[in-house]
């Protein structure tokens, strides 16, 4: 019988001049730049490029091992998850360009006017649509990719407030991420705490539903007041029903996601269905797919336009992941968990440290699942010591990571939603900055209020079974295993 090979030792930590302060300095430079751009009203994510390059340059200058710094940065950029996001955004850009050129937006406007949706009613409807899609598919980023470029432009004709509308779209995507039983954060939070997913989701409703109701009321009250473009206001029948057959495209994409097919497969299938419908009906001309412009010595295409739309968020993602990877390689997250370990003397203080630790982890990694996995074992052993049940622990982790990434302007959901507003320019809808997008995600701010209420006032503290009760009586196995 062969002896299994010993696992390779972990690589040495990446070190910087100035110790931990020096290790975090590049991230501080990035945050300072993001804050300045946000307060200055930066219109899109391209403004973050030079800030991220500057942060990486600072890190390279003060690290002790410049070769390892560069290799760590490149390894982070080359992660399969990053490549998945790059491809998804590129394909979503193509799908959005095809639908936009085929009259899909005008068809949505026609439907909204036919249904009597205007202003806040349309914003509330956009929130509900995105909430259903995200809850059903378990993907917040996929919901933003699919729904953002479609629902946002149509808001021009119905007088929707731009910032509230994109905030509602982001909020609906957030809602699904926080309550869907197939969301990666739900699976991670329940799994790390040894809890069954069904029980965790049922217990989570007491936090999520009140926050969703706050968002819905805010959408109705403050979602109107947008300026309808003069060209649309002058028209007796704004919108055009000729694009109604294109409604089959998002139905196909969402159906594939519900069937647990790959996101890239769904986006590619959506593009093919869009072409299969639009070309025979004359909604898209063949020369729009590819033509040569002799005057500029360049090729023109809806496909090219769609990919170019995604370039801003793709470059932002690559640079950000490279920066975050260097911070992770310093062991800063391990130090954070080690610092808070054992400091909880009561249930309230334990919950405070659990929320604080996962907040610090998600702010440093910009990735919700990574933050949950990093803090999960600490949350479990701390909760066991002071009597916090597995449902409660899982929900504190999950609900917390569904706040900051969907409100702060340097996280991908806010960046991606803001990027989707570019599709509204041809229809009279302005671009909205990532800062304004996150600020108007009322759902996540209300969810943050529920976290504070839970920890400070003890709301929901008695939820769920104890860890002993979650053991199956006959097998002795955790029901969530």
The residue among 160, 168, 95 whose CA lies nearest residue 130 is 168
66 vs 40, residue with greater confidence: 66
pLDDT score, position 228: 62
Contacts of 34 (CB under 8 A, 6+ apart): 48, 51, 409, 410
Indicate whether 260 pLDDT > 80: no
> What value does the mean pLDDT of the chain take?
84
Please give the residue that has the higher pLDDT: either 194 or 229: 194
d(Cα 329, Cα 320) in Å, to the nearest integer? 14
% pLDDT > 70, the chain: 89
With 80 as the cut, is the pLDDT of residue 18 above it?
yes
The better pLDDT of the pair 364, 345 is held by 364
Q: In angstroms, rounded to a whole number, what is the distance separating the alpha carbons of residues 195 and 145?
A: 31
Point out the least confidently predicted range of 25-29, 160-164, 261-265. Answer: 261-265
Q: What is the mean pLDDT of residues 228-246?
A: 65
d(CA 387, CA 462): 10
Range 139-164 average pLDDT: 88
CB 362 within 8 A of CB 404: yes
> Averaged over 272-295, what is the pLDDT?
88
Q: Which residue has the higher pLDDT, 394 or 385?
A: 394
- Per the document, the length of the chain is 481
Give the pLDDT mean for 403-415: 91
Beta-ladder partners of 471: 478
Whole-angstrom distance between the N-terminal and C-terminal Cα of the chain?
30
Q: Which helix (H) or strand (E) holds 275?
A: helix 263-281
- Report pLDDT for 9: 64
Give the pLDDT confidence score for residue 279 in this predicted structure: 93
Question: pLDDT digit string (tens) for 293-307?
Answer: 777 667 888 888 888
- Does residue 5 register a pLDDT over 80? no
Please report the pLDDT score of residue 465 as a whole number: 60
């Amino acid at each position: 019988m062969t002896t299994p090979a010993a696992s390779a030792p972990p690589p040495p930590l990446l070190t910087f001049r100035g110790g931990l302060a020096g290790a975090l300095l590049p991230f501080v430079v990035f945050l300072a730049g993001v804050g300045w751009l946000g307060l200055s009203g930066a219109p899109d994510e391209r403004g973050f490029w030079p800030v991220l390059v500057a942060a990486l340059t600072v890190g390279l200058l003060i690290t002790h091992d410049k070769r390892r710094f560069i290799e760590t940065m490149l390894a982070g950029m080359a992660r399969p998850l990053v490549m998945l996001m790059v491809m998804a955004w590129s394909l979503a850009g193509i799908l959005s360009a095809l639908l936009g050129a085929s009259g899909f937006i005008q068809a949505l406007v026609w439907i909204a006017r036919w249904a009597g949706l205007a202003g806040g009613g349309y914003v509330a409807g956009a929130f509900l649509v995105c909430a259903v899609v995200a809850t059903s598919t378990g993907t917040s980023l996929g919901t933003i990719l699919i729904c953002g470029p479609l629902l946002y432009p149509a808001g021009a004709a119905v007088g929707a407030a731009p910032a509230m509308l994109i905030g509602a779209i982001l909020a609906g995507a957030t809602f699904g991420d926080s309550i869907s039983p197939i969301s990666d954060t739900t699976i991670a939070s329940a799994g790390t705490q040894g809890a069954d997913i069904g029980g965790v989701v049922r217990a989570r409703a007491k936090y999520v539903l009140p926050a969703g109701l706050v968002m819905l009321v805010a959408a109705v009250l403050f979602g109107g007041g947008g300026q309808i473009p003069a060209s649309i206001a002058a028209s007796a029948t704004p919108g055009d029903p000729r694009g109604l057959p294109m409604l089959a495209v998002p139905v196909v994409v969402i159906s594939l996601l519900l069937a647990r097919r790959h996101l890239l497969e769904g986006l590619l299938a959506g593009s093919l269905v869009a072409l299969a419908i639009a070309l025979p009906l004359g909604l898209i001309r063949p020369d729009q797919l590819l033509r040569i412009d002799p005057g500029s010595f360049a090729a023109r295409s809806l496909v090219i336009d769609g990919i170019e739309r995604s370039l801003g968020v793709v470059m932002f993602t690559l640079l950000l992941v490279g920066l975050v990877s260097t911070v992770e390689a310093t062991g800063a997250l391990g130090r954070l968990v080690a610092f808070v370990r054992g400091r909880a003397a009561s249930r309230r203080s334990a919950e405070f440290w659990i929320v604080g630790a996962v907040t610090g982890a998600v702010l440093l990694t910009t990735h919700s699942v990574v933050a949950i996995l990093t803090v999960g074992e600490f949350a479990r052993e701390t909760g066991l010591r002071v009597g916090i049940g597995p449902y409660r622990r899982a929900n504190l982790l999950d609900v917390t990571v569904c706040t900051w990434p969907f409100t702060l302007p340097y996280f991908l959901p806010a960046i991606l939603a803001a990027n989707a507003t570019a599709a509204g320019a041809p229809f009279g809808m302005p671009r909205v900055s990532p800062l304004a997008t996150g600020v108007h995600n009322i759902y996540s701010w209300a969810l943050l209020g529920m976290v504070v209420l839970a920890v400070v006032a003890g709301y929901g503290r008695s939820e769920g079974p104890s860890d002993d009760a979650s053991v199956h009586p006959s097998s002795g196995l955790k029901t969530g295993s």
